[in-house]
Structure 1
């Protein structure tokens, strides 16, 4: 083997070890459930990273909301990918992308997945409902895609990837749709056989009962990921006991932003800025978060570096 070839092989191995997908796989294989924080733009991604989260969930619901549209495929997948690229760049953390239903058939799903890989995401999660989808917490009209069709999407996405470490996560919506536990397990097993790297089992019950039953019957065949939006009071130790690999806090940042912005707007109109200013971030806090000090230092450095040439 040539020296150049040896260098190339070593570089490829190093790159694979450091890839976003490899980092996400490591997170999900830890002894405790990995905590993934929902992010919907570059700012929320930076705040999550600064707060100590090790991974992010790029939520379709939250990004759609930030774009001013509903989580019913009203935003195009190119709109979402633009924001996801900001999330990836801002945080420097592995990002699991909410790919909804894949925006159509196997072809749109694999195109979306390939684009997500190229912008530096760590994985894509696809849900097994028909396109266009409705947010899982709204209404009861949640139509599941045929199992074979969804398995085709998973396989197509796997084959479209450049790096095998990039994760394809299958989100099972059978419990949301009222199809029952047996159907949820049947679908999860089919998706495992089709090439899924993990199963996101979704429930909107107020307790962990459904998730616990599924986890017990699943028996660790693939990593399990959950989003405890409605059963958020469950202790983290209970998730660990069930063998949950990843816990997604999917929409709390966006909802917090809605509350804070609404309160600030109302207070400015009714009370004035004197009541608002003490309760909001100072400009210096924002400048520190965004790295303005480094920018100012770099500006001074580069100005001095070639100052002997003057301004002519």
Structure 2
């Protein structure tokens, strides 16, 4: 856990070690610092900062490109400071052209994340599992990837290049784009929203050896929900579960509020006690520091 006086670790080098392992790295989504701490406390080795969840939690709106790069970086900074495990952050389109990508990469790097994801949509972008997406040209996106690689001050910062071409121009174009992005310097390739298991298998087969691959287990999305065993067999390096924590929190809050409205008393069964929650967010450490520095 990210203690207030923690010595800090090397999350970027650790992320690269995890991605090189024999099984996929599982990174549940977090939309704020609290959800990130819960992911870490559950025993996962990495956190994925979801743009979908960040948008919903910060402004209560859908993921259609409404947040600025500064708002996304601020959220990434808070999440990275809250945990010791590596944080992989959604960086959308890089918030402009290749020059904007240079600054975006450096700001995310300063925020302390271990990896970022860039995608080839036109701004303003949309969630990868929504309709109505549009793409920039392959060459333009390859230029953005080259700019991102050149902008890194820490060579261990992991660059993930995502293509949304499956839903726009088909699997063939998505594969061609992914190869171009690997040639441009992407560390991992992310082919978003294949709609059949056969397409997932084709992506894994045809990009094997090009670069490590990302699987987006988007809860309720367009991609079939494969088992972790199957994704291991297919050779995926990273599996993200982006919005499950957000959906669970939404369901829990709805249930509590419905009970409060109908019964006049919030239903507290199954919830952490006040003391358990304050322990979870680090009150014992604060108490110890107060005594130490009194």
Assess same fold via TM > 0.5.
yes
- Equivalent position of 1:170 in the other structure: 161
The answer to whether the Cα contact below 8 Å between 1:203 and 1:210 also exists between their aligned partners in 2 is no
Structure 2: stretches of 5+ with no match in the other structure:
1-8
Candidates 11, 26, 34, aligned match of 1:20: 11
1:1-312 aligned at under 5 Å gives the runs 19-68=10-59, 69-139=61-131, 141-177=132-168, 179-203=169-193, 205=195, 207-229=196-218, 230=221, 231=223, 233-273=225-265, 276-303=267-294
Q: Which runs of 5+ in 1 are unaligned?
A: 1-17, 304-312
TM-score computed with the length of structure 1 as normaliser: 0.87
Secondary structure in structure 2 of the residue aligned to 1:67: helix
Q: Which of structures 1 and 2 has the bigger CA Rg?
A: 1
Answer 1 or 2: which has greater helix percent.
1
After TM superposition, give the deviation of residue 20 of structure 1 in Å: 2.4
Post-superposition CA distance 1:109-139 (Å, at most 9, x none):
2211111111111111101111111112222
Which range is displaced more, 37-46 or 260-269?
Answer: 260-269
Q: Under a length normalisation based on structure 2, what TM-score does the superposition of the two structures give?
A: 0.92
Deviation readout 1:126-156 (Å, 9 max, x if unpaired): 01111111112222x2111101110111111
What is the rounded CA distance, in whole Å, between the counterparts of 2:140 and 2:197 in structure 1?
Answer: 29
**C-alpha root-mean-square deviation of aligned residues, in Å?**
1.5
Q: Residue 307 of structure 1 aligns with which residue? A: none
Cα pair 1:19 1:165 within 8 Å, conserved: no
Distance in 1 between residues matched to 2:63 and 2:173, nearest whole Å: 25
Give the length in aligned residue pairs: 282
